[in-house]
Structure 1
Amino acid sequence: MSFGFLEMFILLFIVFLILGPKRIPGLLRALGRGVRDFTAEFSREKQEKELPGEKKREEP
């Protein structure tokens, strides 16, 4: 089953009808903020993860 342009258009049209034009920008802003926070947390965990055989240096 493929999800084409027509199905995407119908889905967006239904969401627009349900939420209305005033709530959509806020919804997209919240979605963008959530994605940004998720990617920041994911990259932070990746940086904190130690590679095998390496030790963190302790500052005096």
Structure 2
Amino acid sequence: MLKLFETRDRQLKDALELRRLETKYGDELVAVLRDRAADRSMRIRDRRHWQRILRKARNLGPR
């Protein structure tokens, strides 16, 4: 989903989740998100959520 079409609420929730995950996983964050986004045992809705978070993590670049 393009940022243009995201609600402010969704942007804030994703930013908070991304910050929490970054604290938990550190340098492994992108790898963990990639695994979650590709996990076929999850529902498609959940995989799309992780794909969106992964895109945002990649856009942040190295920290």
TM range (shorter): 0.3 to 0.5
Question: What TM-score, normalized by structure 1, do the two folds share?
Answer: 0.40
Question: What TM-score, normalized by structure 2, do the two folds share?
Answer: 0.39
Q: More helix per residue: 1 or 2? A: 2
Larger radius of gyration: 1
